[in-house]
Amino acid sequence: MVDLTGSYQELWPVILDEKYQQIWIDDCTELVGEENAEAAYDKLASMVSGTIYGEEAVEAYKDGDGVYDCSFKEGVNKLEFDGSDSVIKGYDSEGKEIFSHTYHYVGIEEVRGLYEFKSDDADSGEFTYFCIAPDTNDTTYHIELRYGSDLEALGKYDEGDYAYWLGSGISTDYDQTMVENCIELFCKENLSE
């Protein structure tokens, strides 16, 4: 958690902004060729632009072609990590604090290798557990995480209350280089053979 210290906003509204579309197209062109670049960009953008999760998503995607909702949940607009004190805080769109808890490490999630943390506060509701990918601003230029009240359900990606949801964030202090690196990484991870 120390490596995550800082504030994060939702990733995809930032890097899918139309002002970065040419960067996406250029990175896709390098990997799939000019004739397939726009279709590749459209596919990549659609994979992370879902608007439903949980049982509603399970039902909607039962025939395949599921996409992920990568937004923050429970009214959270910004997440703040203080690794030195093991504190995670969440704020709404007005900047009002929604939650603030200290957390302790409880294990590694088996499906994607997420680090699992549990709140030290007894009544933390949907902020009881945080499952955080080993991503940082320095390595992947973004973060990925899930949070909720049921650790077992958080370990399931295509069933249950958190199905098809994986929150993604970018530093509130992001710069152009971070955006470009993040786009390039996502294209390589999803378009390379």
Among residues 59, 13, 57, which one has the least CA distance to residue 163? 57
SS3 assignment, position 18:
helix
Residue type, 37: A
Domains and CATH numbers, the chain: 2-191 (2.40.128.20)
What is the pLDDT at residue 1? 84
pLDDT value at 162 more than 90? yes
pTM (2 decimals)?
Answer: 0.94
Among residues 146, 144, 182, 138, which one has the least CA distance to residue 8? 144
- The model's pLDDT over 64-112, given as tens digits with 9 standing for 90+, comes to 889 999 999 999 999 999 988 999 999 999 999 999 999 999 999 988 9
Percent of the chain with pLDDT strictly greater than 70: 99
pLDDT value at 7 more than 80? yes
- The model's pLDDT over 122-139, given as tens digits with 9 standing for 90+, comes to 999 999 999 999 999 999
| Torsion sign across C-alpha atoms 166, 12, 133, 62 | positive
Let me know: does 167 contact 145? Beta carbons within 8 Å: yes
The pLDDT of 155-178, averaged and rounded, is 96
